[in-house]
């Protein structure tokens, strides 16, 4: 597998439960039935090698992981930004990862529980009234709101609306065919990415001018970061990592809760047990007049087990991408 820009896509359909397997098979079309578990193809216009066996996945992700680096098709990388955590390696990756992890640490999330509860309550109200809602779409809106809170902390409504408007356009381009033709999804998405970059840089300028960085949100953590030499992250690094975390957080979480809803509505007993747990807390909190606490979120064993089991069953990320950093021989073949 040469380092000629070819991307390796690793799917693990044989390790997956039936529903996730169907998704991967659907995404792969009938390809693997016709060509086997390893074949060359193109994704978003880029040459790539698809691996779909557990052995191959283990080889790329575990035993020979050092020969590969995480990647995404170039068109997606251009939209997210090359300085995002996903594309870094070595010490730079470790530093950035620590920084991102610290801003998402338990103590920071704990403090946000009442605000997250308010976002969820508002979403629930907006779904009432008997209209049909598209679960995944609505959950994406919800996870976007939470991600914005975690990333930026408090943000004025106008700013949040502009971020939302442009991020939604950007999001539609991630899996669109890359083209510079005006009017296409990818073209619109690339323009929205530019506007988002400017918007985030404006927020950065404002934060730095007030000199009150709280270290309670990702943006402030990124802005407070100093290398040993005292160098700060550039504005572009900050923008790429903000967009990178939005990208990593939104679909994954929305997809998880879409599956949770599917599973619990399929199983009446489970749904009743979860309702019971949640109702008890709601009543204890004076019908929601008092905010949810972190301890309460830890005191719902059925709900938490359902989330964990859904993560196992649904296999939210059914495939991932790697790029070979040198020629690699797999199964006696140099591909
Ligand atoms: C159910 C929810 C989620 C699932 C299943 C999930 C799964 C994953 C997986 C499998 C990877 C590794 C991808 C690879 O190696 O190719 C990853 C990476 C990452 N995820 Fe998540 N994720 C979830 C939610 C989130 C959230 C909420 C955030 C941020 C708020 C986040 C931030 C990241 C970041 C920054 C990386 C890159 C890490 C690195 O390069 O070191 N993820 N996620």
Tens of pLDDT, residue by residue over 170-211, are 999 999 999 999 999 999 999 999 999 999 999 999 999 987
Distance between CA 1 and CA 310 in Å, rounded? Answer: 34
pLDDT score at 123? 96
pLDDT at 22 over 80: no
pTM of the model: 0.89
Q: How many angstroms separate the alpha carbon of residue 247 from the centre of ligand 1?
A: 9
Q: Is the dihedral of CA 101, 72, 9, 328 positive or negative?
A: negative
Decide: 238 and 246 in contact? Cβ < 8 Å: no
Instruction: Find, among 75, 53, 73, 56, the residue nearest to 65 by Cα.
Output: 56
Do 296 and 119 meet the contact criterion of CB atoms below 8 Å apart? no
pLDDT in tens, 221-258: 999 998 888 899 999 999 999 999 999 999 999 999 99
Q: What integer pLDDT is reported at residue 8 of this predicted model?
A: 60
CATH architecture for segment(s) 93-314: Orthogonal Bundle (1.10)
Q: Which residue among 85, 247, 252, 304 has the greatest number of ligand 1 atoms within 8 angstroms of its CB, and so is best to mutate?
A: 252
pLDDT band at 132 (very low <50, low <70, confident <90, very high): very high
Residue nearest to atom 27 of ligand 1 (CA): 249
User: Which residues of the chain form CATH 1.10.630.10?
Assistant: 93-314
* Alpha-helix residue ranges (DSSP H) falling in the chain: 18-27, 31-35, 54-58, 74-80, 90-103, 106-127, 135-152, 157-173, 185-210, 218-224, 235-266, 268-284, 294-297, 301-314
Q: Let me know: does 201 contact 60? Beta carbons within 8 Å.
A: no
Q: Which residue has its alpha carbon closest to ligand 1 atom 22?
A: 252
pLDDT of residue 19: 53
Any residues with Cβ below 6 Å from ligand 1, and which? 70, 85-86, 97, 100, 104, 245, 248-249, 252-253, 256, 316-317, 320
pLDDT value at residue 264: 96
Model confidence over 270-292: pLDDT tens digits?
999 999 999 999 999 999 899 99
Inter-residue contact 199 to 88 (CB < 8 Å): no
pLDDT in tens, 87-110: 998 898 999 999 999 989 999 999
Quote the pLDDT of residue 1: 39
- The chain-wide mean pLDDT, for the chain, equals 89
Nearest atom, ligand 1, residue 61 CA: 15
Atom of ligand 1 nearest to the CA of 97: 41
Q: Is the pLDDT of residue 23 over 80?
A: no
């Amino acid at each position: 597998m040469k380092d000629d820009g070819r991307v390796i896509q690793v799917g693990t359909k044989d390790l997956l439960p039936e529903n996730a397997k169907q998704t991967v098979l659907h995404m792969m079309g009938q390809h693997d039935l016709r060509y086997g578990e390893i074949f060359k193809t193109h994704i978003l216009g880029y040459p790539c090698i698809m691996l779909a066996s557990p052995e191959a996945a283990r080889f790329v992700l575990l035993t020979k992981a050092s020969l590969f680096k995480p990647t995404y098709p170039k068109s997606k990388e251009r939209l997210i930004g090359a300085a995002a955590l996903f594309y870094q390696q070595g010490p730079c990756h470790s530093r950035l990862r620590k920084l991102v992890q610290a801003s998402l640490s338990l103590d920071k999330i704990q403090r946000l529980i009442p605000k997250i509860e308010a976002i969820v309550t508002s979403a629930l109200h907006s779904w009432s009234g008997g209209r049909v809602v598209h679960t995944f779409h609505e959950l994406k809106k919800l996870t976007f709101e939470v991600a914005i809170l975690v990333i930026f902390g408090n943000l004025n409504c106008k700013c949040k609306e502009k971020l939302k408007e442009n991020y939604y356009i950007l999001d539609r381009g991630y899996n669109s065919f890359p083209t510079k033709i005006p009017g296409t999804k990818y073209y619109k998405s690339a323009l929205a990415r530019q506007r988002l970059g400017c918007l985030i840089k404006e927020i950065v300028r404002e934060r730095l001018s007030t000199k009150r960085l709280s270290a309670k949100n990702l943006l402030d953590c990124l802005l407070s970061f100093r290398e040993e030499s005292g160098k700060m992250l550039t504005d572009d690094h900050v923008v790429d990592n903000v967009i990178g975390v939005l990208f990593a957080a939104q679909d994954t979480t929305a997809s998880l809760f879409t599956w949770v809803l599917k599973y619990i509505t399929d199983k009446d007993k489970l749904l009743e047990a979860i309702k019971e747990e949640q109702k008890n807390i709601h009543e204890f909190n004076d019908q929601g007049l008092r905010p949810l606490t972190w301890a309460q979120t830890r005191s719902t064993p059925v709900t938490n087990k359902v989330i964990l089991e859904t993560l196992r069953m649904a296999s939210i990320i059914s495939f991932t991408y790697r790029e070979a950093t040198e020629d690699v021989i797999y199964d006696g073949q140099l591909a």
